[in-house]
Chains A and B, each alone.
Chain A
Amino acid sequence: MEEKEMEFENRYPFEAKIQVNEEKVREIRDNYNKISSFNLERLRKVKNRAKSIAYFENILLNKADRIKELKEFKARGGKVIGVFCIHVPEELIYASGCVPIRMSCGFYDTIAPAEEIIPKNTCPLIKSSVGFNFLKINPLYELCDVVIIPTSCDGKKKMADILSNYHRVWTLEMPNDRDIDMSREKWVKEIKNLKEKLERLTGKKIGKKNLKEWIKILHKRTAVARELFSLRKNKKVTINGRDSYLVLQTAFFDDPIRWINQVEKLVNELKANIQKNIFVAGESVPRIIITGSPLIWPNMKVLHTIEESGAIVVADDSCACGQYFYNPIELEDWSMKAMIEAIGDKYLLPVVCPIFTHSDDRIDRLLELKEQYKAEGVVYHILRLCQVFDFEYIKISKLFEKKSIPIIKIETEYSEEDAGQIKTRIEAFIEMLEARR
């Protein structure tokens, strides 16, 4: 592979600057902290909440420790890599001695400044992520040496081009139809390329032992996350949807081993709570699945509305929570080739993402979640201009109508403008669910 092929080529870079002065940036930064702590306060109102969540709240609000840790890590010669989407193989990144940080964001205030370099008719997640990282509201962004962007939806594809003006960008070529063998082969090749790129970045070979070790660690992470989710299958729930979102989203930037330990602590506390009969929600509370566009901190609007209106989110198939660590790796032998293939499969085949041509796999997953978590209704959240989820809604709603599963479509933005309207609709939906019993 040539050097030229390795990098994202941009022959006509432009020098556009987001015209925001320092004061405005500071204001946005303050606002971010304000909204974060406001969200946490709303979360704290829930009764019988597990105490171990305090750790996750802390690291979300106060990233200084993690930044210090990463700066020390960089001083020792380590590299930090920003990633988008769930298609980036974290095993490889960790094994090469780098640390991945997921860059997605759900912050409203950074949308307006980002619109100078990104068209208005783009989904808010992309605009917000670009603005959030570009304005350096996210202090972790400055630490990134490379940003890896899988070419998943159209927005992400073009975001790679825009970001390459300001930052070193690698893309991961995603196949569109994963049902054919060719796309799997292509994807495995792409993973191999990524491995070579990482090796060139760090100047070290990715060893078999190292990779095996990290596969096992991340397998543990999957096991822990699955255990946390499976606790929500019980009739009486000990952790609500918002808290599980909070816990999972701290893994975007936290150290995985520490995160695993903390979640284990949390799971143990929740299990003890079941013994002690301490519950967040009883049996009579309507159980809801949330699906659709990913909800990313601090955009907790829909979740707040649902859970403050008297229902509980028991499951989701979002790439930012329920599916983030769901899929495990199973291997029959530990040779490098087999490991790369297994990693490739893990990040392509079972991933519930609407960017693939077929939507049936996602529907299967939704039906299965509904059955396993005994959910009564589905909230389909769509970020305005997120086309892929919108396309799938039609098929899903028709099918659910036939199966008489209540579904409601909430199309919204990051702004709080339509909060009242959403609240009325969701309250009516929950009332309907209660009346159906």
Chain B
Amino acid sequence: MKKKLNITLLRRISQIFFFALLVYGGFLYLPQINTDIIPFIESNPDVKKIESLEAPQGYTEVFDTYTPFRTCRYLDGNRIFRACSLHYFTEVPVYGVPLYDFLPHFLIIILLSFIFGRFFCGWVCPLGSFSDGLNGIRKMLGLEKMKLPEKFLGFIKKTKTIWTVLLFILAIAIIVPFIGLTAFQNELFLVSCQTCPARNLFPLLSLNKPNWFQFDHPITITLSIIGIIFLIFLFFGFFGKRIWCRFCPNGIVQSWFNKGCLIVKEKDNQKCTKCGICKRCCPMDNETVFKEKNKKNVNSKDCINCFTCVDKCPEDDCLKVKFLGKTIFKSRYRDK
């Protein structure tokens, strides 16, 4: 039997690389970069507004680069890398970030999404990697995996889009005068960030001062409670499946690209023995690959493009990953 290129190994390397870069990248801060050489790079105009949220201060200057990701604002001195696409939906319209500052990044992330779909969750996102890491720890400890109740997962599935849309409306509503939310600008400041589990987790992981939840106003109390619930969701990843990723607004926005992107997962229905391995191995409990019996294309919204199913499929050539019609990876039987 031929030796198989292990796509899961490739993905793990990518995850570790980006985890290190996005969480500990701040330590790479190089003040001697001459900003005159690189066009479009200037100190971030929204920094001062961020400081009002008691973000820890470490460095006096902040750089932005061409990386398409907006880094987590709660990470000390780590604004070199943009790690979160939500920036374009919440921050940019609200604070009037100048076009030259965000447009290159925005275009790059749109382009990447058109090519790879929801690649972010499976290959880059440090929260996803953290979730996978927790699962790895459980495996090493030899603990049983736990199945979360169907009702709970069903609830998440139904409400995730509503939640995302609500989040964006709330984020933008604070600058629209006639809605009347302008009075709560301080409390509703960046709702998506206030409810994100990364807010406490990343500073703690990178040995910074964590940004504790605030309980001084009814709105902040509500948002903090939601944030705590989401933080608990993230730790559910310990039991085997990714839970937070099903609710993450960033992932949901990217999932809209999943059906039209250039990376296509194809299934040969005749070769499929319906053994259910793809369904069992999926970290997102995605059933599309298993249940699809007619169409070739098995891309779906819930898919995080981790290709675990392609890796595990025991039938030769049954599942294929195609890029512009060219097969780049296919399933193969492994005799361990």
A interface list, Cβ under 8 A from B: 184, 208, 216, 219-220, 222-223, 226-227, 327-328, 330, 332-338, 341-342, 345-346, 349-350, 352, 360-361, 364-365, 367-368, 371
Contacts and interface: CB of A to CB of B under 8 A. Distances in A.
Contacts of A330: 277, 281, 312-314, 334
20 contacts: A219-B336, A222-B335, A327-B275, A327-B314, A330-B281, A330-B313, A332-B308, A333-B145, A335-B142, A335-B145, A337-B145, A342-B280, A345-B276, A346-B275, A349-B274, A349-B275, A350-B276, A364-B269, A367-B270, A368-B271
A226 B333 contact: yes
Nearest to B277: A330
A189 to B, nearest CB: 13
B144 interface: yes
A223 B142 contact: no
B25 interface: no
B270 A328 contact: no
Nearest to B273: A350
Instruction: Determine which residue in B274, B281, B308, B333 has the highest number of CB atoms from chain A within 10 A of its CB, and name it.
Output: B274
Contact of B144 (A223, A227, A337): A337
Contact of B276 (A208, A349, A367, A368): A349
Instruction: Determine which residue in A216, A219, A342, A350 has the highest number of CB atoms from chain B within 10 A of its CB, and name it.
Output: A350
Instruction: Determine which residue in A223, A330, A350, A361 has the highest number of CB atoms from chain B within 10 A of its CB, and name it.
Output: A330
Interface residues of B, number: 28
B132 to A, nearest CB: 11
Contact of B336 (A223, A327, A338): A223
B139 interface: yes
Contacts of A352: 273
Contacts of A227: 335
A216 B275 contact: no
Contacts of A337: 144-145
Given A361-B273, A364-B272, A365-B273, 19 more contacts: A216-B336, A219-B335, A220-B335, A220-B336, A226-B333, A330-B277, A330-B313, A332-B280, A332-B308, A333-B145, A334-B139, A335-B144, A337-B144, A337-B145, A338-B145, A349-B274, A350-B274, A364-B273, A371-B270
Given A216-B336, A327-B275, A336 B280 contact: no
A392 B271 CA distance: 20
B143 interface: yes
Given A333-B139, A333-B240, A368 B333 contact: no
B151 to A, nearest CB: 14
A interface: dominant SS: helix
Closest 8 CB pairs of A and B: A223-B335, A350-B275, A350-B273, A349-B276, A345-B276, A330-B277, A335-B144, A330-B312
Nearest to A335: B144
B285 to A, nearest CB: 11
Contacts of B139: 333-335
Interface in B13-54: none
A31 B77 CA distance: 87
B142 A208 contact: yes
A220 B1 CA distance: 13
B273 A327 contact: yes
A361 B315 CA distance: 14
B9 to A, nearest CB: 14
Given A184-B276, A333-B240, A335-B145, A328 B314 contact: yes
B184 to A, nearest CB: 45
Given A333-B240, A335-B144, A345 B277 contact: yes
Contacts of A334: 139, 142
Contacts of A345: 275-277, 280
Contacts of A328: 314, 333
B333 to A, nearest CB: 7
Interface in B131-190: 135, 138-139, 142-145
A341 B336 contact: no
Nearest to B318: A368
B289 to A, nearest CB: 13
B314 to A, nearest CB: 5
Contacts of B275: 327, 345-346, 349-350
A371 to B, nearest CB: 8
Contacts of A222: 335
A226 B1 CA distance: 11
Contacts of A338: 145
Contacts of A208: 142
Contacts of B312: 330, 332
B13 to A, nearest CB: 18
Nearest to B291: A179
Nearest to A184: B276
A51 B222 CA distance: 78
Contacts of B313: 330
